[in-house]
Amino acid sequence: MQVGFFGTGIMGTPMARSVLRGGFPLAVWNRTASKYAQLVTEGATAPGTPRDVAASSDVLISMLVEPAHLDAILHGADGILAGVRAGSIFVDMSTRPPSEARRLAEIFAKHSVAVLDAPVRGGVGMAADGTLMIMVGGEKAAVARALPVLEAIGKTVIHAGPTGSGCVAKLAHQLVAVATVEAAAEALALAKDFGADQAAVREVLVNGATPSPLLKATSEKMVKRDFKPGQPLWVYMKDVVNMDDALAGTQRTYPVAQAAFERVRTLNETGRAELDQSALYTLLDP
Angle between helices 255-269 and 237-247 (to 10 degrees): 130
Helix (H) or strand (E) holding 258: helix 255-269
Angle at 128 between CA 127 and CA 129, to 5 degrees: 90
Ranges of beta strands (E only) in 122-201 are 132-137, 154-161
Catalytic residues: 170
Phi, psi of 133, rounded to the nearest 5 degrees: -95, 135
CB within 8 Å of 162: residues ≥ 6 apart? 137, 138, 139
CB within 8 Å of 17: residues ≥ 6 apart? 39, 42, 128
- At position 47, the amino acid (one-letter code) is P
